[in-house]
Structure 1
Amino acid sequence: MSECQGKWLYVRAVLAAMSTLCAASPTLGRSKPTCRYLPGDAGWPSNKAWNRLNGTTGGKLIRGTPLAEPCYFPESSFGNQVCTSLAGNWTSPETYPFPVSGHGCTLGNLAAYALEIDSATTVVAGLKFARENNIRVSIKNTGHDYTGRSNGQGYNSSFYTGPAVKVGAGVQFSELYAAAASRGLRVAGGYCPSVGIAGGYVQSGGYGPLAASYGLAADNALEFEVVTVDGRQLVASPTENSDLYWALSGSGAGNYAVVLSLTSKAHADNPTAGATLTFANIDPTLYWAAVGAFQSHLLVLDEIHGFATSWGLNNQSFSLNVATLPGGLQSDIVTALNPFIQELKDLGLPLTNYNTTIFPSFYAHFQHYTFPPEVYSTNNTLGGRLIQRSTIQDRLPDLVGAFRQIAENPASPMSLISGNTINVSRKRIPQTPEWNSVLPAWRDALYTLNIGILYSPKATPEKLLAYQRQANEWQRLFGSITPGGGAYVNEATFDNPNWKKDYFGVNYDRLLNIKKKNMIQISPCGSIRPLVLTRTGRSLMMDGSVA
């Protein structure tokens, strides 16, 4: 695993709103523009300048080109044969769905140029070019970012003694878990094999099947090796550049520095028990009663150290996709689930699937439930909420009612509802609140909830807007049921009007100050704030300022 394997630094112009406010104005005596240049602006770098950057970086510059371009431009030299081939293989890892229409094919929100990062030198060159030419930079690790933000010394610390792994940016969980298992170890990571640990995952908190055992990925972060916007290569740890370490450990990626590597705690491996079960909606009254019973039983499972679940439901069926119990026996997981299974029997709902397992290592368990990785394209809009223990205890009917309202919504093509239990409370994870910038609401959460809509790739822009509005309404619905809670910034709506409270909470002001000291996007045109696209094709910050 190379330290920079697969990492991309994206140099792109983020769409900006109200160009008259963003452009330099000689009549006002400004010597510099107040916002970044876009392709087509007079100040956008020339082809000669881009060619110089390509030469400086040893040919690492990539020009952004829409994959589906041959299908939109009949005059393209590729012709219809390439279009047919692309359309016929859109579910493979290297193609994506696209409806052919009478409109042209544009990059949209994708990068105009990208740099393939193979060293810190390339990062420095890219950031220097962006700074000197007044263009925006976004950072992409492996691309699992639903909201669209996408060498050094060894580690030594008095705060931690034990096994650790140093992981280069771009290394995915399928690789990391295998490497750790070969050494008798396991690492707190995610469910999806193709996610990279060192990017937005750990920098936004990062949950997974081992969170109930060891905490979030950010709780396990020991050190980051980074390049700052001014070209310095630094180590950020609790004792060195501690503010930068604090911000990188849980508050959202792409704001503070380019991460080259992460040093994370590793843990001794041992056998891992697992389970799956499914039941169908053969009677709506009984079915939703069973869903409520499972929610209540999560409080029981929450008391079992290390017990984690990943589950999903719709109006047809409920599925416990995987239960994970590190260090447990197969009989332990049977005992843990038996009370809920008995409740299903009492309701008269049969199980359509029930299976328990025991594997000699966490990685073997992970492989069984997630391999082979299914690489496919989906079209969905996503929202989310952290569901507190108190919500299950005090407002269970409201919660189940919200699930049912979404699942039975006739206006949605297919509704998505899923949850992943975490249990990263302070009694389980002993770090003080000042240790990292993880949203405090995580510590009171029983699970993180995902809600969304799966739709056709041929959906019209009007439909897409309607689906996004629906997801926003659902996220607000769960917000009203969970006052004082929050949401996982990686799995939530990008245009949430309560983004500051829901995604950053009490940490926001400190994070903003740290960002100002390590600025990737210079104020007033950039901050840890989401964007709203306007009719002009530029973008506007949620507080009304211009990007």
Structure 2
Amino acid sequence: MLLLKIFLASALIVAPGVLSVSVNFPYESVQLNTADIRRNPALRYGNPVETPDPDADLPHCRAWPGSHDWPAADEWTKLNTSLNGALLRPDPPAAACYPSDARYNATTCRWLLGQARQTGFWIDDPLVVLTQWPQGSTCPAVMDAKGNCTRGGFPEYVVNATTAKHIQAAVNFARNKNVRLVIKNTGHDFGGRSMGGGSISVWVHPLKNIEFIPKYTTDSYEGMAVRVGAGVESWEMANFMAEHNITVLTPATTVGMAGGWIAAGGHGGLTSKLGLGSDQVLSINVVTADGKFITADPDTNDDLWWALRGGGPSAFGIVTSVVMRAFPPIRSTSMSVGFSVNPNLPNTARPTSNATSTAGPRLGSSTLTNVTAFWTGVKQTYRHCLQANALGGFCFSYIYPLGNSSFTFTHSFSVPSITPTELTSLIQPLFDSLNTLGIDIPLPRMPPNMTTIPRPPPGAFQGFRGGGDAPINTRYRSRLFPRANYASDALYDRTWTAIRHSIEEGGYTFHGIGYTPTREVAGPLGADSAVNPAWRVAALHASLMETQPAGGMTAAEARERDARAAKYLDLWREVTPGSGAYLNEGDPMEPNWQASFYGDNYDRLVEIKRRRDPWGVFWAQTTPGSEGWDVKVLDGYPGSQNGRLCRAWV
């Protein structure tokens, strides 16, 4: 039995190796060397020039546990030795919930289903991905689980990457031994790209280093910057920003900053002011499909520099660190509005609450009975968001269907470099128009004489370790709505007819984020990248969301749900011709995904992919060139990663 040990701390020991002038952090100086390869030839580098002959008798499928080409136990042991004990074979935590399993522990199961989400447990687990359904639902965390817990779409092995060498060795071993490779950080993955049955996973979560650079100078940039390790989460950057009195564009609290977020574009609270996440990048350190550790920037490896910023996650390499732009502190002011509708209430019901936000999917005292007034108010609120966008702000909203023709709407405005008084003046016309509809919610009372929003003190976020994050079964389907859809009343009405239909009849939760990451905002450095062009003309990133059963569904039930959702998404596509969707929050079964997720950048991305990774080492569904392979899904569930990866024609 192979015994494997978890090491969670980042390794900062500089070992003999091939040193690179591109090193950002000590862990990047620990690289694979010729002595390592002599001891284990399975770790030899690849040569992209020696492109595999397409007419050669190449393996039809990746190796699979039990297949003739699956590495023997002694090969895994030897790899673990080369990795200095960093090879893991972790159990799914939810195994504790299965009475028929030897790993069953009722106390642990109750903790997993309750207190675990108040900690960073799920984010820090080397195996778990927060969206369960792509795994195949073979081991969901539920009380009194039936049947057996099996690995399903979870990887067979995990490399606990604390050095560049660990990543290089994993890439070379996977390529040379024909093993499927996946990449994982925090597990924020809605489309199944951080897992894969029969795979080896590279877990970059331990790479937590951050460094402030007061002056970073290149031919194309001069200013403040930060170096960010691949495993850094947004809340950790928030602490760092408070300590150094700077601002960096970040995603949501526990989302990783340097990997898939940037690789698909990446949005944040300052997107209308600073651009997308990929627009912030100044340099990228990455391990490529041949196992080499390289730097991509405007002057070096310019093809990868272009592709790694918006061209798709898990497609071109494994990022070890990035250098990003930093700015003087930017303080934002926020204001919320919320109201509900229930046509079944007595006609005397009126919205009288002073509350200007609704915490979740419930009916409150600010509840209308007039459905037309409700939807008119929603439309006016979203249109008013453009005024916040023009000042670099964004909007964040949900519409929750509550059944029986009742809905709750929550919406917040956040605008940088503006006082509460100025924001009140900006939002007052919206509240006036809502009041004329009978939506009587007054503007919130701001602190008197308050002219600035204080920055949290250093360490203000310390102790937050992913509270609220736990595996769920949410299915995202999205669309980017262009600013042009707001330009005329007729088109705006058609747009909202399509959205309203999907919420009222479809019963989906609607999530809308309003921002304008234009090319002008991105600047010359950010605009010349592989980001989906639809982002540059967008005013609303909209998602239809549904929660699928925790215990999974049959393949037939999943296909039926996909077909039903497609009917409503088609209405969105009809009013947004030529637009697209955000890959990280898009549907892995998106039709014509090449155009939807990448626009007219797709052909160039495929050409770079074929040149840089002729072996197809990096594969994830709906990424450039992924059409050549399919997962032979064991449960038949569309989009599932519970199966062997084979060539599409097999």
3-state SS of 2:518 partner: coil
Q: How many residues are aligned here?
A: 515
3-state SS of 2:222 partner: coil
3-state SS of 1:162 partner: strand
Query: What TM-score does the superposition give when structure 1 sets the normalisation length?
Result: 0.85
Q: Is the 8 A contact 1:87 1:98 kept in 2?
A: yes
Q: Is the 8 A contact 1:166 1:264 kept in 2?
A: yes
Q: What pairs with 1:418-437 in structure 2 (closer than 5 Å)?
A: 418-431=511-524, 435-437=528-530
Please name the residue that 1:301 is paired with: 388
Change (3 A) 1:156 1:137: farther
3-state SS of 2:524 partner: coil
Q: Distance in 2 between matches of 1:525 and 1:360?
A: 45
Please name the residue that 2:42 is paired with: none
Q: Which among 63, 78, 82 is matched to residue 89 of structure 2?
A: 63
Q: 1:349 offset after TM fit, Å?
A: 1.0
Q: What pairs with 1:383-398 in structure 2 (closer than 5 Å)?
A: 383-394=477-488, 395-398=491-494
Please name the residue that 1:21 is paired with: none
Residues 72-98 of structure 1, C-alpha deviation per residue, up to 9 Å, x if partnerless? 362515455554554555645536733
Query: Does residue 1:490 correspond to 2:576, yes or no?
Result: no
Q: Which among 289, 313, 318 is matched to residue 253 of structure 1?
A: 313
Q: Which among 433, 436, 439 is matched to residue 349 of structure 1?
A: 439
Q: Which among 205, 222, 225 is matched to residue 164 of structure 1?
A: 225
Q: Distance in 2 between matches of 1:38 and 1:273?
A: 53
Provide the identity percentage. Answer: 27
Q: Is the 8 A contact 1:72 1:104 kept in 2?
A: yes
Q: Which among 291, 294, 298 is matched to residue 231 of structure 1?
A: 291
Range 456-465 or range 194-203, more displaced: 456-465
Residues 312-366 of structure 1, C-alpha deviation per residue, up to 9 Å, x if partnerless? 112322111x3222111111111111111111100001238846575223899x9
Q: Distance in 2 between matches of 1:59 and 1:373?
A: 30
Q: Which among 353, 374, 390 is matched to residue 287 of structure 1?
A: 374
Please name the residue that 1:146 is paired with: 190
Q: 1:418 offset after TM fit, Å?
A: 1.3
Q: Distance in 2 between matches of 1:84 and 1:434?
A: 48
Change (3 A) 1:467 1:298: same
Q: Is the 8 A contact 2:308 2:530 kept in 1?
A: yes
Q: Is the 8 A contact 2:175 2:615 kept in 1?
A: no
Q: Distance in 1 between matches of 2:615 and 2:182?
A: 9
Change (3 A) 1:84 1:221: closer
Query: Does residue 1:180 correspond to 2:241, yes or no?
Result: yes
Q: Which among 130, 137, 159 is matched to residue 115 of structure 1?
A: 159
Q: Is the 8 A contact 1:140 1:199 kept in 2?
A: no
3-state SS of 2:519 partner: coil
Residues 481-529 of structure 1, C-alpha deviation per residue, up to 9 Å, x if partnerless? 1001011110110011210000011111111111112218529988623
Please name the residue that 1:517 is paired with: 611
Change (3 A) 1:170 1:521: farther
Q: Which among 250, 254, 260 is matched to residue 189 of structure 1?
A: 250
CA RMSD of aligned residues (A): 3.4
Change (3 A) 1:442 1:81: closer
Range 36-45 or range 217-226, more displaced: 36-45
Residues 288-316 of structure 1, C-alpha deviation per residue, up to 9 Å, x if partnerless? 1111112322233332x212111111232
Q: 1:434 offset after TM fit, Å?
A: 6.4
Q: Which runs of 5+ in 2 are unaligned?
A: 1-8, 11-24, 28-54, 123-139, 195-208, 342-367, 402-406, 641-645
Q: Which residue identity lines up with residue 612 of structure 2 in the other structure?
A: N
Q: Which residue identity lines up with residue 451 of structure 1 in the other structure?
A: L
Q: Is the 8 A contact 2:559 2:637 kept in 1?
A: no
Q: 1:476 offset after TM fit, Å?
A: 2.6
Q: Is the 8 A contact 1:384 1:492 kept in 2?
A: yes
Please name the residue that 1:451 is paired with: 544
Q: What pairs with 1:302-451 in structure 2 (closer than 5 Å)?
A: 302-303=389-390, 305-315=391-401, 316-320=407-411, 322-351=412-441, 354=444, 359-361=453-455, 373-394=467-488, 395-409=491-505, 412=507, 415-431=508-524, 435-451=528-544
3-state SS of 1:255 partner: coil
Query: What TM-score does the superposition give when structure 2 sets the normalisation length?
Result: 0.72
3-state SS of 2:76 partner: helix
Q: Which residue identity lines up with residue 361 of structure 1 in the other structure?
A: R
Q: Distance in 2 between matches of 1:202 and 1:363?
A: 27
Q: Distance in 2 between matches of 1:237 and 1:362?
A: 33
Q: Distance in 1 between matches of 2:177 and 2:235?
A: 38
Query: Does residue 1:265 correspond to 2:328, yes or no?
Result: no
3-state SS of 1:207 partner: coil
3-state SS of 1:428 partner: helix
3-state SS of 1:430 partner: helix
Q: Which runs of 5+ in 1 are unaligned?
A: 6-28
3-state SS of 1:479 partner: helix
Q: Which among 49, 52, 65 is matched to residue 78 of structure 2?
A: 52
Range 535-544 or range 330-339, more displaced: 535-544
Range 503-512 or range 465-474, more displaced: 465-474
Q: 1:407 offset after TM fit, Å?
A: 2.3
Residues 115-150 of structure 1, C-alpha deviation per residue, up to 9 Å, x if partnerless? 111010111111111112111111112221211113
Q: 1:545 offset after TM fit, Å?
A: 2.4
Q: Distance in 1 between matches of 2:457 and 2:337?
A: 21
Change (3 A) 1:143 1:521: farther
Q: Distance in 1 between matches of 2:304 and 2:547?
A: 37
Q: Is the 8 A contact 1:272 1:361 kept in 2?
A: no
